[in-house]
Amino acid sequence: MTIQKKMPPRRSGAGRKRDSSTYDALLNATVEQLNEGGESEIRLENILAAADCSPSSLYHHFGNLRGLLDEAQIVRFSKVLRQRTEALNAAIQNVRTRDELVSFCSDWIDQLLVGDGPIARSRRVDALGSTYMRLDFAKRMGEAQAESCEQLASAIRVPQLRGLIDESLDLYSVAHWIQGLFFSRVLVELGHDDKLGRAWNELTKRAILATLFESADTTRR
């Protein structure tokens, strides 16, 4: 008679008490390897070596390798947006006039469209692909997206309360639209056409600034 060894049940890392140093070491090592080669190149032994952790630690914190990969993909999907939104929220507190705000938003849009934007977007696309045919995980990814949009809306709400942005705008919807625009730029980047990229950037900036500020001008007339 053969006795089958039962694997530990799959559990979310967010749902239990954990040693944060071990948890973070495993998560960071997995994110780094996903960024280097995607899920197809993931090797458990490499993650454990990079994190200096045992298999039992992985099972304790994440249930199994799939659970660890899912947590890492959510981090890849939301980390950059969260960091930039936090920076936006801190900086926007000091903006007092409408002209300052227009200039500030213009610079912020440029920063999102250039720099490490293409790399960040490609990682988000890869993370999003991991939700295919996995409804429960897609729901979790959607929750992460909704949270990042709420953070962006909260940051923009500061100047709205000061009367610098049209008070009738639903900023939560605006945040989803703005993030959707940045995310969709991956289609332009596939062609490696710099002229098209510059034109797309300019159209995108004009559309965002017009939504935030020209609607307010129309309301005042």
Compute the mean pLDDT over every residue in the chain, rounded to the nearest whole number.
Answer: 87
pLDDT of residue 67: 96
CATH topology of domain 73-215: Tetracycline Repressor; domain 2 (1.10.357)
Q: Which of 41-55, 115-129, 204-218 has maximum average pLDDT? A: 41-55
Contact 29, 50 (CB under 8 A): yes
Contact 219, 166 (CB under 8 A): yes
Region of residue 97 (left: phi > 0; alpha: psi -120 to 50; beta: else): beta
Residue 51 has pLDDT above 80, yes or no: yes
- As a whole number, mean pLDDT of residues 6-35 equals 72
Local confidence band at 84 (pLDDT 50, 70, 90 cut-offs): confident
Same fold, 10-63 and 73-215: no
Give the tokens for residue 90. 């801190």
- pLDDT (tens digit per residue) in 148-158: 999 999 999 99
pLDDT of residue 117: 75
- pTM, rounded to two decimals: 0.82
What is the CATH code of the structural domain delimited by 10-63?
1.10.10.60
Residues 163, 86: Cα–Cα separation, whole Å = 22
The domain limits of the chain are 10-63, 73-215
* Nearest to 30, CA basis, from 53, 7, 9: 53
Contact 78, 145 (CB under 8 A): yes
pLDDT of residue 14: 45
Interhelix angle for 20-37 vs 117-129, to 10°? 100
* Nearest to 22, CA basis, from 45, 46, 56: 56
